[in-house]
Structure 1
Amino acid sequence: MENDESVLRRKLEMVCGVPLFWSTVEEWAQVESFQARPDDLLISTYPKSGVAQLDKMPSPRLAKTHLPVQLLPDSFWENNCKIIYVARNAKDVAVSYYHFYQMAKMHPEPGTWDEFLEKFVTGEVAFGSWYDHVKGWWEKRKDKPILYLFYEDMKEDPKREIQKVLQFLGKDLKEDVVNKILHHTSFQEMQKNPTANYKMVPKAQMDHSVSPFMRKGTAGDWKNHFTVAQNEAFDSDYKEKMKGSTLQFRTEI
């Protein structure tokens, strides 16, 4: 990737009303025509929602996406592929995404925290509205083989959540294997793993001195960033946008 403004910090482009990276839009025909196989496993999240913890799970071919449900290639639905969706509370996602925008220069300039939070709330960030994303996948689970997990639950009791994944995949692993998975998918281990922490990406593209790709991995860090006024405004807007949904999140554990 070239280190210049023609490639880095470019504006997002729209696909069916969803803002995406220019590079994704250029290859959109290939994305749309992707041919899933019936035994593929798809892991889907809104960005900065903790998907890396599932990477080492036993599976057939593994695909990952941040796409909202309406933009997923049709072949996944046609082949009835199993999908694991991981959702994280909006406030922590906003904070984590802000730091990611700062260090990962494929994003547009994030501006100040206050400016970025406004963009997040209005869905003017890569992959669009968090609210639409989590609600869309939540509704889709009613008629498709989707296991919907929560980041906060994974932090609280990772073994319990791994057992949910194993049951969903029809896998029965010995206790020692499960414990190895727990160890290697812990935040501390993943943070040290060069295949997970993106430390091999050139600094011109991802500046880890600004913020590491895997920053804290906690639930509740939003309290260190939101002002009282921001929190009140966010809560009011959140209540309106999530009205009518049975989807509920914990903002701390």
Structure 2
Amino acid sequence: MDKSRKTVVEYLDKIWADSEKAAPEDLLFSYKGILYPGTLCSPETFQVLDSFEARSDDVILAAYPKNGSNWLDQVLNDLEITAAKYTEEEIKERINITNELSLFPRLEFGDPEKFKRMKELPFRRIIITHLSPQVLPKSIFKSKAKILLLVRNLKDTAVSYFHFYNNIPTLPSFGSWDEYFTAFMHGKLCWGSYFDYLVEWNKHMDDENVMAITYEELKEVHYCQIALEQLFLLTIVSVKMHRHLNQTLGLKKIADFFGFSLSEEEIQTVAEKSSFKAMKEKSSKTHGALGKIFFRKGIIGDWKDHFSEAQNKEMDIKFEECLAGTKLGEKMKYGLYCKA
């Protein structure tokens, strides 16, 4: 295992160990009415959040928990490294600098001094956050740093977050799906309400430095390919061409947005390297004991095995009230992915 992976795994394993020893009441804290995990974040870090100085070339990925940020984190790093044509030695140097500064790639994680250390990074920074726009440091919007907003359909997000809550020691477990569903609908979870999160980000859909992309958009081409194979019995050659053209589409949009210059072949290589299947297979090496929790299923439609008819109706009504007719709501294709 290389030094970088060892460092990340050691960090995550320590969080696991600290969480298992923590009293249940110490697992969470509230800051300005929103819950956060106590072993990852601290009130002191939030108090100095605005001291973070964004750069215009920062690559920022915003995503609510369980929207696919671990997956897209890998994608963005691979795209940036490939586009920059870094040598192996240059990649190792970047990793060593990051490790020496004790920086974990989540804006709100860690100690209050981390923002000072982030200034020392001499290369383009890739920053991931679960925070809503009104909580983000003001410098992010003032600097015009480009923000990739990753969203996932509400029902699959709820299910994925439920399993995450009940399997990770950093968060308190729920006694049942029904108990959890009530908490989800009322925003009584870490990072607050997903509905509120989407409503706030929808206000930025016309910002030139913000681009929204959906989890399903990055995955649906695979389902499209399966449907075509079944319906039309495409030849092996045609299937391979279809897969090749479509799997790279979402990554090409991301690369173009951030100004990463890659060939189609390079984008395809990144797509294959950072597929959910590939990342799940190596998750124990990249994320330690938490790997199997971070990368559970990665499928579309898992919600159908959890939602009752009443819960379906409740969420459908809530979506209509909060997001129907909005740009972000339309992009999420609720009728396609959240209707039985």
TM over 0.5: yes
Where do residues 54-203 of structure 1 align in structure 2 (5 Å cutoff)?
A: 54=72, 55-57=74-76, 58-59=79-80, 60-157=124-221, 158-194=247-283, 198=287, 200-201=288-289
Which 10-residue stretch deviates more, 34-43 or 11-20? 11-20
Segments of structure 2 that go 5 or more residues without pairing to the other structure are 1-14, 81-123, 222-246
SS at match of 2:294: coil
Task: Judge conservation of contact 2:27–2:170 (CA < 8 Å) in 1.
Answer: no
What TM-score results when the alignment is normalised by the length of structure 1?
0.87
SS at match of 2:21: coil
Equivalent-residue separation in structure 2 for 1:195 and 1:70 (angstroms) = 35
Q: Specify whether residues 235 and 141 from structure 1 end up closer, same or farther in structure 2 by C-alpha distance, changes over 3 A only.
A: closer
Instruction: Identify which of 16, 19, 22 aligns with 2:32.
Output: 16
Equivalent-residue separation in structure 2 for 1:17 and 1:52 (angstroms) = 26
What is the deviation of 1:240?
2.1
The CA deviation string for residues 110-162 of structure 1, in whole angstroms up to 9 with x for no partner, is: 23100101100111111111011122122213235011001110101342111
What is the deviation of 1:183?
0.3
* Structure whose residues are more often helix by fraction: 2
SS at match of 1:35: coil
Larger Rg, first or second structure (1 or 2): 2
- Is 1:4 the counterpart of 2:21? The answer is yes
SS at match of 2:212: strand
- Aligned twin of 2:306: 225
What is the deviation of 1:244?
5.4
Look up the equivalent residue of 2:298 and give its one-letter code.
Answer: G
- Is 1:42 the counterpart of 2:40? The answer is no
SS at match of 1:56: helix
Task: Judge conservation of contact 2:164–2:294 (CA < 8 Å) in 1.
Answer: yes
Task: Judge conservation of contact 2:70–2:294 (CA < 8 Å) in 1.
Answer: no
- Aligned twin of 2:337: 252
Task: Judge conservation of contact 1:138–1:148 (CA < 8 Å) in 2.
Answer: no
Identical aligned residues as a percent: 31
What TM-score results when the alignment is normalised by the length of structure 2?
0.66
Equivalent-residue separation in structure 1 for 2:148 and 2:318 (angstroms) = 28
Task: Judge conservation of contact 2:53–2:139 (CA < 8 Å) in 1.
Answer: yes
Equivalent-residue separation in structure 2 for 1:102 and 1:125 (angstroms) = 12
- Aligned twin of 2:71: 53
Q: How many pairs does the alignment contain?
A: 244
SS at match of 1:86: strand
**What is the CA RMSD across the aligned residues, in angstroms?**
2.3
Equivalent-residue separation in structure 2 for 1:196 and 1:47 (angstroms) = 22
Task: Judge conservation of contact 2:67–2:152 (CA < 8 Å) in 1.
Answer: yes
Segments of structure 1 that go 5 or more residues without pairing to the other structure are none
